[in-house]
């Protein structure tokens, strides 16, 4: 693969799947700075993984794998200790800088609480929850995680109940 | 409303979020690409430097002590240079070779970020366990040969050259260095590697 092809693929993935990456990042870490660090690490790993991408797996499966593996290996502050870097995820630094669609509409509130609930799950369960919320099939999830589809079903059943109960519990407290 | 219905509601709210647009307002693809390329270069350099520092310093020390060995040798025909500093050079080269072979083997076994999660967790666990084993046994493969070589060589050099400076170097620098290195390895195992191993074992257990 030439450098030009790698660059073109990266741009296309950014264009088409940036939402997926941001969801994984926000589902794995909470603070804006950590999200920014992890986001940049995921992009770096994605960039490095492109030459190995032969199109045998679906692009989304590939990106999920890279994103979750990076998130699992990620260590808070490691990148900041090593280098100074520009921040890109400025959207959630303060309420004033948030775009209009991130206002406190009831639906956005539900989404924010879902992110918080997902972050409380064990990391592998959080990965499954994020893919399930995005509507991936059991087969695709099995390819990303490397476990059987049956087991995915068992785990998802438990995760759905956990998440629903957490959010219902939070609703009742309010 | 039962749990499944409620979860379906959550799922539809989730799918309607417009998360992608948030970033593009602040950084376009060109800026991100440039940053990623810069980070990749830096990342490669830092990783290689981390690995090579220990190995190359071992080989450099071996070169330095070989030079000392040759320089302080009494050159007589059909006789090898005096062995004192050469023993240290041999120990340093041995340690550096051991680290180099270990680095190559570990690098070959490493998974990539595009492997399935379970395979990556298993590989990381193996890597951490190997690192713990290395650091727990650092006395046997590193500090014992290192300090023994230095002690024997420097005591012999002090006697041969009628000076106490080598003995002083041994007591004031080499032995404290070995002690500090040993403590540092134990600290790293306790504070960094063991928690990481437990974390990875828990992750793997959650997938079994």
pLDDT digits (tens, 9 = 90+) for A138-172: 999 999 999 999 999 999 999 999 998 888 776 66
Cβ-proximal residues to A87 (8 Å cutoff; 6+ apart), any chain? A33, A36
CATH number, domain containing residue A123: 1.10.10.10
**Where among B60, B75, B103 does a domain terminate?**
B103
Residue B12 touches partner A, C-beta closer than 8 Å: no
Show the domain range for A7.
1-89
Residue A101 touches partner B, C-beta closer than 8 Å: yes
CATH number, domain containing residue A69: 1.10.1740.10
**Where among A40, A62, A89 does a domain terminate?**
A89
Residue B114 touches partner A, C-beta closer than 8 Å: yes
Kindly tell me if the per-residue pLDDT of A41 is higher than 60. Answer: yes
Q: Are residues A164 and A117 part of one domain?
A: yes
Q: Shortest CB distance from A145 goes to which of B29, B117, B124?
A: B117
Question: Per the domain annotation, does A133 fall within a domain?
Answer: yes
- Comparing A40-44, A57-61, A126-130, B111-115, the range with the smallest average pLDDT is B111-115
Residue B117 touches partner A, C-beta closer than 8 Å: yes
Write the CA distances from B151 to A57, A116, B163, integer angstroms. Answer: 58, 59, 15
Show the domain range for B201.
112-208
State how far the Cα of B121 lies from the Cα of B119, in Å rounded to an integer: 6
pTM given for the model: 0.77
Is there a contact between B19 and A23 if contact means CB atoms under 8 Å apart?
yes
Cβ-proximal residues to B78 (8 Å cutoff; 6+ apart), any chain? none
Residue B194 touches partner A, C-beta closer than 8 Å: no
**Where among A89, A120, A138 does a domain terminate?**
A89
How confident is the model at residue A100, as a pLDDT?
45
Question: Per the domain annotation, does B13 fall within a domain?
Answer: no
* Chain-centroid distance, C-alpha A65: 10
Q: Are residues B206 and B129 part of one domain?
A: yes
Q: Are residues A173 and A124 part of one domain?
A: yes
Kindly tell me if the per-residue pLDDT of A95 is higher than 60. Answer: no
Kindly tell me if the per-residue pLDDT of A3 is higher than 90. Answer: no
Is there a contact between A52 and B40 if contact means CB atoms under 8 Å apart?
no
Question: Per the domain annotation, does B118 fall within a domain?
Answer: yes
Q: Are residues A75 and A1 part of one domain?
A: yes
- Comparing A47-51, A113-117, B45-49, B73-77, the range with the smallest average pLDDT is B73-77
Q: Are residues A68 and A139 part of one domain?
A: no
How confident is the model at residue B144, as a pLDDT?
92
Q: Are residues B123 and B67 part of one domain?
A: no
Q: B117 contacts in A (CB within 8 Å)?
A: 65, 68-69, 72, 124, 127, 144-146
Residue ranges in chain B modelled with pLDDT below 50: none
Write the CA distances from B71 to B87, B156, B159, integer angstroms. Answer: 14, 16, 17
pLDDT for B154-171, tens place per residue? 888 788 778 888 889 889
**How many C-beta atoms lie closer than 10 Å to residue A138's C-beta?**
16
Q: Are residues B148 and B96 part of one domain?
A: no
Question: Per the domain annotation, does B65 fall within a domain?
Answer: yes
Q: Are residues B202 and B126 part of one domain?
A: yes
Question: Per the domain annotation, does B5 fall within a domain?
Answer: no
Count of structural domains, chain B? 2
Kindly tell me if the per-residue pLDDT of A91 is higher than 60. Answer: no
Token readout for A97 is 């800088």
**Where among A89, A117, A152 does a domain terminate?**
A89
| A67 CA: distance to closest CA in chain B (Å) | 8
Kindly tell me if the per-residue pLDDT of A83 is higher than 80. Answer: no
Kindly tell me if the per-residue pLDDT of A132 is higher than 90. Answer: yes
Q: Are residues B142 and B81 part of one domain?
A: no
Cβ-proximal residues to A124 (8 Å cutoff; 6+ apart), any chain? A145, B117, B203, B206, B207
Q: Are residues A138 and A80 part of one domain?
A: no
Q: At A142, which helix (H) or strand (E)?
A: helix A138-145
Q: Are residues A169 and A113 part of one domain?
A: yes
Question: Per the domain annotation, does A167 fall within a domain?
Answer: yes
Q: Shortest CB distance from B112 goes to which of A52, A127, A132?
A: A52
What is residue A144's DSSP assignment?
H
Count of structural domains, chain A? 2
């Amino acid at each position: 693969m030439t450098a030009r092809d790698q660059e073109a693929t990266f741009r296309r993935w950014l264009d088409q799947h940036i939402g997926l990456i941001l969801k994984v990042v926000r589902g794995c870490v909470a603070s804006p700075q950590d999200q920014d660090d992890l986001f940049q690490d995921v992009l770096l790993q994605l960039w490095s993984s492109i030459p190995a991408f032969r199109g045998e797996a679906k692009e989304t499966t590939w990106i999920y794998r890279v994103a979750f593996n990076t998130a699992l290996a990620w260590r808070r502050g490691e990148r900041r200790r090593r280098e100074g870097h520009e921040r890109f995820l400025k959207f959630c630094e303060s309420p004033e800088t948030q775009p209009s669609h991130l206002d406190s509409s009831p639906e956005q509130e539900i989404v924010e609480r879902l992110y918080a609930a997902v972050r409380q799950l064990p990391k592998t369960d959080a990965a499954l929850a994020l893919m399930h919320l995005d509507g991936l099939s059991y087969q695709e999830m099995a390819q990303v995680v490397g476990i059987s589809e049956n087991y995915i079903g068992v785990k998802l059943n438990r995760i759905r109940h956990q998440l629903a109960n957490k959010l219902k519990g939070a609703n009742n407290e309010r | 409303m039962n749990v499944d219905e409620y979860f379906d509601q959550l799922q539809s709210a989730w799918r309607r979020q417009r998360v992608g647009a948030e970033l593009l307002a602040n950084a376009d693809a060109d800026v991100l690409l440039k940053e990623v390329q810069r980070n990749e270069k830096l990342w490669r350099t830092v990783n290689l430097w981390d690995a090579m520092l220990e190995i190359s310093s071992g080989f450099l020390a071996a070169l330095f002590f070989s030079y000392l060995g040759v320089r302080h040798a009494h050159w007589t025909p059909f006789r090898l240079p005096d062995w004192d500093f050469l023993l240290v050079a041999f120990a340093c080269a041995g340690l550096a070779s051991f680290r180099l072979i270990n680095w190559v083997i570990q690098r070959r076994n490493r998974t990539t970020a595009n492997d399935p999660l379970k395979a990556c967790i298993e590989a990381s666990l193996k890597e951490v366990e190997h690192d713990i084993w290395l650091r727990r046994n650092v006395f046997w493969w590193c500090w014992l040969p290192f300090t023994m070589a230095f002690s024997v060589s420097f005591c012999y050099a002090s006697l041969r050259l009628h000076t106490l400076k080598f003995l002083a170097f041994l007591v004031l620098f080499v032995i404290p260095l070995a002690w500090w290195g040993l403590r540092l390895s134990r600290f790293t195992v306790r504070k960094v590697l063991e928690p990481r191993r437990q974390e990875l074992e828990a992750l793997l257990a959650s997938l079994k």
